[in-house]
Structure 1
Amino acid sequence: MTFLMHWSFKTGYHEIAAKKFMATGAPFPSCKSWKRFHAPGSVEGWILVEADDASACYEHAAEWAECLDWEVTPVLSDEEAGPLIAKVYA
């Protein structure tokens, strides 16, 4: 399953989170794959995650919850969503 995780820094936590990120690389070992994207200025970003279930996202978000606010959304590709929408409008 694919999840889009949107993160943003909590007020006053930019430096703490940046130092933690540089020291650890923010590993995400409990998922199949992930890709991280940073907005210009790096005050927010997104992680596109492939995982068997949402627990991988929950664990990662919990590790960073002190510094970051999160929104996690399950998402579908065109290939996955197409047949579903076709059922509705067929």
Structure 2
Amino acid sequence: MTFLMHWTFKTGYHAIAAKKFLSTGAPFPACKSWKRFHGPGSVEGWILVESDNADACYEHAAEWAECLDWEVTPVHTDDQAGPFMAKVYS
């Protein structure tokens, strides 16, 4: 399943989170794949995660909860969502 994890820095935690990120690389080993995106000049970013288990998202968010607020959403591609729409609207 694919999850979109949206994060924002908590007030006063940007430097702490940046130093932690630079020293650890913020690994995400419990996933099949993932891509991290940063909003330049902002205090937010996104991680697109592919995992069979939502627990991987929970664990990663918990590791960073001191510095970041999270919103995690399961998402589908058009190909995945299409059959559900067809079932409802056909």
Name the TM-score, length of structure 1 as normaliser: 0.98
Q: CA RMSD in A?
A: 0.6
Q: How many aligned residue pairs are there?
A: 90
Percent identity between the two aligned chains: 82
The CA distance in 2 between the partners of 1:71 and 1:52, in whole Å, is 18
Q: Structure 1: 5+ residue runs without aligned partners?
A: none
The CA distance in 1 between the partners of 2:27 and 2:41, in whole Å, is 21
The CA distance in 2 between the partners of 1:41 and 1:20, in whole Å, is 19
The CA distance in 2 between the partners of 1:77 and 1:48, in whole Å, is 12
Question: Which string of whole-angstrom CA distances, capped at 9 and with x for unpartnered residues, describes residues 3-34 of structure 1?
Answer: 00000000000000000000000000001000
Q: Structure 2: 5+ residue runs without aligned partners?
A: none
- Alignment match, 1:57: 57
Q: CA deviation at 1:42?
A: 4.3
* Structure 1 range deviating more: 38-47 or 12-21: 38-47
Name segments (4+ residues, structure 1) moved above 4 Å: none
